[in-house]
Amino acid sequence: MMLPSIYRIVGSLTLCSLSFFILPEATALPGTSVVLSESSLVTTEDGESATFEVTLSEVPDGSVDVNFSSGDLTEGSLSNANLTFTPADWDIPQTVTVNPGASGDGNDGDVMYSISGTVDATGTNFDGAPVPSVNVTNINTEGISTIIFSNYQNHETDEDGTTSTFTVRLSSTPSSGTVSVELTSNDPDEVLISTGMDSPGTTATVVMDSTTPVVVTITGQDDGVADGDQPFSISIGNTVATDPSYDDLPNSYQIRGTNSTIAAYQPDLRVGKKFNPAVHKGNQIYSNRQLAIQTLRDRASRDKTTKFFLSLENDGSDTDQILLRSGNFLKQKRRYKMTFTEIGGSRISPATLASGITKELGAGETAIYRGTIRLKKRVKARERQFRSRITTTSLTDPSKADTSHLNIRFK
């Protein structure tokens, strides 16, 4: 009987009997795979190499060996092609380098080939897991007009304006005039590009008249959104040249990178009469960004008491220590009885609130406080208006703050 290839026969022999068991072969679980950072790469025959990074899609239940091989060793060989991952380092990228074949094989044009991989695992969840292939173009530079991009991979910028660079050059001097190519940032909220002394912009034009490399700068941009690290890419247009051999040349390069979000801190304060835990958030009004301060205006009830809620939210992208205070709460102690309590926490005295309380909040976390103000007896009519300014300040970045006002009139 022929058995499918996913099964194997295990036999056992004893003095009494001969028995066979059909067991399924170990196969990778659905969804498990080897993850590559690149699907296509470009190298050049004059020595420009390329790299890709490798990780696993999830924690393996044993060690996992991933082995890569080049489909055309005359055009490209691999360094660090045999990788091992364990449950302790499965998500730490390991780098494979693609080294181009040496020039000297004549004008054979640009040659494409593939890099493939296989998996050998001691556990079961990755044994036989799929490995994506990488398509590589090895650009011919011998006796041909072409444009070469160096350091085009894995750019890293920050929202604080940190830059990264790559270079563009010609393989030979054009017979006449110049060769230009336009670059476009596909994500201008994340990065802008420039050459020379030009200001960063969405587009930049590289102009060349020799083999001297031209430096292109990528500048990270702050989009004002706590969106974490964001990928970006730069498109490359066809060349424009008076030399026919350089005119309207396409390219195979993919310029990509990551713009990292700087640690952001934003204490967001909101004051109101009612509180709904499901929807109550900060008011997204910040005193350092907008000249807007939220005010609660209220008239006290017949028993000369008013209640309010205060919501403190960290709208930043990192954990922050936030100072909440109201200096004039204590000054009005003679006329008003005041209580201030964190929901789920303890009562806070006016003196403590006046000096400030520090609250640690993770990104997106909220603390809710409930306040009560009662007018004491025998207070003159002209003194029956409670006013207080409540502020929050980031202790990590004191320039970030928010403000709310209480303005309550008592009969």
Q: What is the pLDDT of residue 366?
A: 85
pLDDT bin (cut points 50, 70, 90) of residue 328 is: low
Please tell me the distance from the alpha carbon of residue 362 to that of residue 219, in angstroms, as a whole number: 29
Q: Does domain 148-262 have CATH number 3.40.190.10?
A: no
What pLDDT score was predicted for residue 186? 95
Q: What is the pLDDT of residue 398?
A: 82
Tens-place pLDDT, residues 299-309: 555 557 777 78
pLDDT in tens, 128-171: 899 999 999 998 887 788 999 999 998 999 888 889 999 999 99
Helix residue spans in 137-233 (DSSP H): none
Q: Residue 91: is its pLDDT beyond 80?
A: yes
Is pLDDT at 266 greater than 80 in this prediction? Answer: no
pLDDT confidence of residue 191: 96
Q: What is the mean pLDDT of residues 10-37?
A: 57
Parallel, antiparallel or unpaired: strands 255-260 and 155-158 = parallel
Cβ–Cβ contacts within 10 Å for residue 260, how many? Answer: 17
How far apart (Å, rounded) are the C-alpha atoms in residues 146 and 188? 28
What's the mean pLDDT in 383-405? Answer: 78
HSE-up of 118 (CA within 13 Å, CB side)?
Answer: 3
* Share of residues in the chain with pLDDT > 90 (%): 42
Q: pLDDT at residue 120 above 90?
A: yes
Do domains 34-144 and 148-262 share one topology? The answer is yes
Average pLDDT over the chain, rounded to an integer: 80
Closest CA to 69 of 54, 81, 83: 81
**In the predicted model, what is the mean pLDDT of residues 283-293?**
37
Q: What is the 3-state secondary structure (H, E, C) of 175-193?
A: CCCCEEEEEEECCCCCEEE
* The CA-based dihedral angle spanning residues 391, 396, 400, 406, taken in that order and rounded to the nearest 10 degrees: -10
Q: What confidence score (pLDDT) does residue 384 get?
A: 65
Task: Report whether 161 contacts 261 (CB < 8 A).
Answer: no
Chain position carrying tokens 């799929």: 130
* Tens of pLDDT, residues 2-14: 444 333 434 443 4
Ordered alpha helix ranges (H), 308-392: 350-355
Average pLDDT over residues 257-277: 71
Give yes or no for a contact between 119 and 131, defined as CB atoms under 8 angstroms apart.
yes
Q: Give, in order, the Cα–Cα distances in Å from 379 to each of 329, 372, 384, 385.
A: 17, 18, 7, 10
Closest CA to 296 of 326, 270, 327: 270
pLDDT at 367: 86
**Averaged pLDDT, 57-72:** 94
Identify the band that residue 290 occupies on the pLDDT scale cut at 50, 70 and 90. very low
Q: Which two tokens stand for residue 374?
A: 């009662």
Q: How many CA atoms lie within 13 A of 295 on its CB side?
A: 10
Q: What is the dihedral of CA 326, 331, 335, 340, to 10 degrees?
A: 30
pLDDT of residue 101: 83
How is the chain split into domains, by residue range?
A: 34-144, 148-262, 267-409
Provide the token pair at 76: 């490209």
Q: What's residue 241's pLDDT?
A: 96
Which of 31-35, 271-275, 280-284, 326-330 comes out lowest in average pLDDT?
Answer: 280-284
Using pLDDT thresholds of 50, 70 and 90, give the confidence band for residue 18. very low
For the segment 204-220, what is each residue's pLDDT rounded down to a tens digit?
A: 999 999 999 999 999 99
Q: What is the pLDDT of residue 148?
A: 93
Q: What is the mean pLDDT of residues 234-258?
A: 93
Contact 66, 161 (CB under 8 A): no
**Would you say domain 34-144 falls under CATH 2.60.40.10?**
yes
Decide if pLDDT at 281 tops 60: no
The CATH superfamily assigned to 267-409 is Immunoglobulins (2.60.40.10)
CA dihedral 157, 161, 166, 168 (to 10 degrees): 140
Q: Looking at residues 80-94, what average pLDDT do you find?
A: 93
Which residue from 329, 326, 313, 327 is spatially nearest to 269, judged by alpha carbons? 313
Report how far residue 318's alpha carbon sits from residue 261's, in angstroms, rounded to the nearest whole number.
10
Give dist(CA 410, CA 302) in Å, integer: 9
